[in-house]
Structure 1
């Protein structure tokens, strides 16, 4: 009975984390949302949604007022990267470690701003020398002291929500390079398509894919749970997709039927 209860608690905690991440993504537009609308869209009770909002409010991410909720303008975007970065850390490290096997000393690698690809910084010193191009501020900070990594920043306008650099200058810089490997992650995968909430992220990812000889996508099981507005690409546009976690069998069957090169770790 004890094992059963522990399992139930783990499942409930996982569902709560997915709901809270969805709430954050919903509020990142900056507009206020009715709490009852959130409850309806997530198919949960008002009591459940208020419990979720209480947790997010304690973390300084949202503000409740008269039946509605909005992002804390001064804190949400800065905190959202940190919030996402704390989730599924072991899965993200497993994906990063697996990606390392597909790099060779001397490669030029371009890496996106995701909290998944950040974990590459732990392992990249094992395959130096490398050239690393990125728009991700945490990756730049982590790698800047390593002499065997030729580190290149894309530049651009800093976006605190993604803790990275974006915009026209970033995209122009990316398109001026030709690299061996692009390593990306995504907000969500629906069918065989990648989506993300923000157009500026779309353009940066698409530019990175365009300049790479080989493309690797990293995704844990949560990427098959959420929805997002903006189309990025087909996962079949990648030479390799590395997956981890408890991926729904139907989703996995669809991917395998596409003849995509898939590695599960």
Structure 2
């Protein structure tokens, strides 16, 4: 192996250690990461700049974070590890809405991915999604007719976005869409990134029934962009850790299902 190849491999391994550490801890300082990987502070800052450019982490004064903010959605890898029991509970409850022979649309949320993982025993189904992890799950299910919604690949979200994806969604008319977003209050849903807002709005328009999947960590919160009023959805599924006042207010707008979290 050439020196250049060895150096590239070493950099990849070091950056993966940094990402794994920040994903596990939520955030870390540059000096902490310097000690972790055993290189200079300047090298760590170069690594962090590259990881931020790739959308895996975000910088703040004094350190780096994998956690979402009002303007930054966590990477797909981070979101997969967050609120797992809540998302699994929400998926189990949402699954009761799915009927064999129907067509459903899944967005690139990890909540919708949790639904995809439960579809093996419900078929036949037609399922469309732009989320690569969901595609990997669904392609193995013989009773699922899978429609892959292509577009511009985003490594941060591990999904396909942009105008090609919006046009692909616009060509569909499905029975039900399962969507999630980064934040909500009693009247509005929000997301940090305009590009994802556009795709999710197209999905809302493509389905007869829209189901909003929201774990309790996302409420009540706001993000940079308004996505859609709560009234634009037909049903809300949330876990039983949600704020009681918000649940009561949401029920005044749309039917709301409470998902019990199994211990």
Same fold (TM over 0.5): yes
Alignment partner of 1:263 is 2:238: no
Structure 2 distance, partners of 1:166, 1:203, is 9
Shift, 1:225, TM fit:
4.8
Alignment partner of 1:112 is 2:112: no
Q: TM-score when scaled to structure 2?
A: 0.73
Matches within 5 A, 1:51-90: 52-54=27-29, 72-73=51-52, 76-77=55-56, 80-90=75-85
Give per-residue Cα distances to partners, 1:43-72, cap 9 Å, x unaligned: xxxxxxx9943499579xxx986xxx9783
Shift, 1:87, TM fit:
0.8
Give per-residue Cα distances to partners, 1:66-123, cap 9 Å, x unaligned: xxx9783355438821111101111101111111110111111000000111111221
The answer as to whether partners of 1:77 and 1:162 remain within 8 angstroms in 2 is no
In the TM superposition, structure 1's runs of 4+ consecutive aligned residues that sit over 2 Å from their partners are 50-59, 69-79
Alpha-carbon spacing, 1:51–1:126, altered in 2? closer, same or farther (3 Å): closer
Shift, 1:226, TM fit:
3.9
The answer as to whether partners of 2:102 and 2:125 remain within 8 angstroms in 1 is yes
The answer as to whether partners of 2:220 and 2:246 remain within 8 angstroms in 1 is no
Tell which deviates more after alignment, 163-172 or 222-231.
Answer: 222-231
Q: TM-score when scaled to structure 1?
A: 0.72
Structure 2 distance, partners of 1:145, 1:93, is 20
Shift, 1:261, TM fit:
0.3
Shift, 1:236, TM fit:
1.6
Task: Indicate the SS of the match to 1:94.
Answer: helix
Tell which deviates more after alignment, 214-223 or 50-59.
Answer: 50-59
The answer as to whether partners of 2:129 and 2:147 remain within 8 angstroms in 1 is yes
Alignment partner of 1:222 is 2:201: no
Structure 1 distance, partners of 2:49, 2:248, is 38
Alpha-carbon spacing, 1:70–1:176, altered in 2? closer, same or farther (3 Å): same
Shift, 1:218, TM fit:
0.7
The answer as to whether partners of 2:54 and 2:156 remain within 8 angstroms in 1 is no
Equivalent position of 2:195 in the other structure: 200
Task: Indicate the SS of the match to 1:142.
Answer: helix
Structure 1 runs not aligned, ≥5 long: 1-22, 25-49
Q: 1:246 aligns with which of 216, 241, 255?
A: 241
Equivalent position of 1:159 in the other structure: 154
Structure 1 distance, partners of 2:26, 2:94, is 38
Equivalent position of 1:168 in the other structure: 163
Structure 2 distance, partners of 1:123, 1:143, is 10
Task: Indicate the SS of the match to 1:194.
Answer: strand
Alpha-carbon spacing, 1:131–1:51, altered in 2? closer, same or farther (3 Å): closer
The answer as to whether partners of 2:237 and 2:256 remain within 8 angstroms in 1 is yes
Shift, 1:246, TM fit:
1.9
